Structure 1
Amino acid sequence: MADRAADLAITLRVIGIGPGGPRQITLEAVDAIAATDVFFLLDKGSRVAQLTDARQDLLDRYARAGHRVVTVVDPPRDRNPDDYRAEVLRWHTARVDALEAAIGEHLRDGGSGAFLVWGDPALYDSTLRLTGQLAARIGPGLTVEVIPGVTSPSALTAAHGIVAHDVGEPVLITTGRRLAETPPGADRNQIVMLDSHLAFTETAAPDDQVYWGANLGTPEQVLISGRVGDVADEITRVRVELRERTGWVMDVYLLRRAR
């Protein structure tokens, strides 16, 4: 079926759906969902079933009658590899293989498919890399459309009612894995994503300020802010409790160095 995809004229939409709240979705995304025939969901197992339910809620609200949902089993991934980049590239290739087969099987000539992406597709998400590989394989018959979404950093600062920086200051967006590598002078305002280990608890000074948020825009949203020395233990505890209660945590934080 994968070979058949190369013979199709199809549209793939990569639709940003925001950090989790069904109202944190743009009108452009609503229109894109309503225009799509088939939605491809990568199944990551029962641990994140609530995330799948949240996507389904958006489809129930905005997708047109007769749309279809195709679940593709997400290939396994080593979360602690010796070579992180090589493992991610291998995993992406396995994903593309599975998605190409699904497209060939489920999309008709002239049809459209979509991926619903948390937050914004351009910020710490791999879907556009996957569609880039799909485009290289399928060829000119594939058109990729990208619809931006509300990012978790913007949802975080809005939820806390703060500006991400002082007047004229820069903001660095990084990951927990790279937080310790931030050079002096670039670390005044850091928005940190993909940090399941809460790296700031080891790298930040007690007087630094942290603004943390988890499961933003959902009924399980949690916000904590304050001096690192005062709230780090609370954030660590609440994160564990939230994961145990809901089965998932998507969190982000702003770390502001003390002057």
Structure 2
Amino acid sequence: MQTLFLIGIGTGNPDHLTVEARKTLAEADLILIPRKGADRADLADLRRQIVASVLGADAPVVEFDLPRRDPALPYLKAVEDWHDRIAAVWAASIPPSAKRVALLVWGDPSLYDSTLRIAARLSPAPKVRVVPGITALQVLTAAHGIPLNTLGGDFTVTTGRRLRDHGWPQGATTLVVMLDQGAAFEVLEGSAYHIWWGAYLGMANQLLHAGRLDEVGAEIRSMRQAARAAHGWIMDIYLLRRVDA
């Protein structure tokens, strides 16, 4: 039976790779690297650099082109169709002779990532092992030097889509927002919240900004737009906390 190792690699810094992750890569028969198009070539390059830092230039790598999600379909239908096509590409890229296959996953495979759901579509089903990684949430709080929660308090992790559509979750004190397509924090009353924002966390081009939302929100939006235009893509995350907390 094949074993598929889903390896969390942090946010792009090779130093985020755990000892377990390095060992798993060294023992892999095959390492899959997705290509997301010319506008996101940096993402494949960083994966190549991470693999090379562990195994050198002769690593057993197979690259594949990641299918694009169909924007014409309703969101959930588009994602389901997209995941089916990704699983088909994986299956076509893995020869039967490869018994230990590794796939490098940004952050950690358990947090707002669909790699496990895609792996479940493979047939015949491989044994799936998760090697946990550092999450963008951890790198964000470390970069700003802040605790994730208030004293004895809880926190909520959500998406930009849900914040924009439903507003601030009832009873929440601290909110971490991931997968935001564009400044969903603008739906909030800025004077009531602090924000700690970060993009390209752990990379050489890391960006950080923080302050009361009504004072820095517009600047963060401008920084985000400029960075996306410069790089062709952006990965960012932010933490919001009520001022009265």
For 1:170-185, list aligned pairs within 5 A: 170-180=154-164, 181=166, 182-185=168-171
1:47 pairs, out of 27, 33, 39, with 39
**Aligned pairs, how many?**
242
Cα offset, 1:163, TM superposition = 0.5
| Alpha-carbon distance between aligned partners in 2 of 1:19 and 1:11, rounded to the nearest angstrom | 24
Give, as a single letter, the amino acid of the residue that structure 1 aligns with 2:177: V
1:193 pairs, out of 178, 202, 222, with 178
Give, as a single letter, the amino acid of the residue that structure 2 aligns with 1:89: E
Q: Which moved more, 1:113-122 or 1:94-103?
A: 94-103
Give, as a single letter, the amino acid of the residue that structure 2 aligns with 1:125: D
Change (3 A) 1:122 1:204: farther
For 1:141-220, list aligned pairs within 5 A: 142-180=126-164, 181=166, 182-186=168-172, 188-220=173-205
Give the conservation status (yes or no) of the 8 Å contact 1:40–1:115.
Answer: yes
RMSD, aligned α-carbons: 1.6
Residue 97 of structure 2 corresponds to residue 108 of structure 1? yes
Residue 69 of structure 2 corresponds to residue 85 of structure 1? no
Give the conservation status (yes or no) of the 8 Å contact 1:37–1:67.
Answer: no
Give the conservation status (yes or no) of the 8 Å contact 1:210–1:227.
Answer: yes
In structure 2, the partner of 1:38 is 30
1:239 pairs, out of 224, 228, 232, with 224
Residue 214 of structure 2 corresponds to residue 223 of structure 1? no
Give the conservation status (yes or no) of the 8 Å contact 2:34–2:44.
Answer: no
Cα offset, 1:54, TM superposition = 0.6
Give the conservation status (yes or no) of the 8 Å contact 1:119–1:151.
Answer: yes
Uncovered stretches (5+) of structure 2, i.e. residues with no partner: none
Cα offset, 1:68, TM superposition = 2.1
Structure 1 stretches of at least 4 aligned residues deviating more than 4 Å after TM superposition: none
Residue 239 of structure 2 corresponds to residue 250 of structure 1? no
Residue 4 of structure 2 corresponds to residue 12 of structure 1? yes
Q: Which moved more, 1:245-254 or 1:116-125?
A: 245-254
Listed one character per residue, the Cα deviations across residues 165-215 of structure 1 (whole Å, up to 9, x for unaligned) are 2111110000000014243212x1000000021100222432310000000
Give, as a single letter, the amino acid of the residue that structure 1 aligns with 2:237: V
| Alpha-carbon distance between aligned partners in 2 of 1:191 and 1:87, rounded to the nearest angstrom | 25
Give, as a single letter, the amino acid of the residue that structure 1 aligns with 2:227: L
| Alpha-carbon distance between aligned partners in 2 of 1:80 and 1:21, rounded to the nearest angstrom | 35
| Alpha-carbon distance between aligned partners in 1 of 2:72 and 2:204, rounded to the nearest angstrom | 31
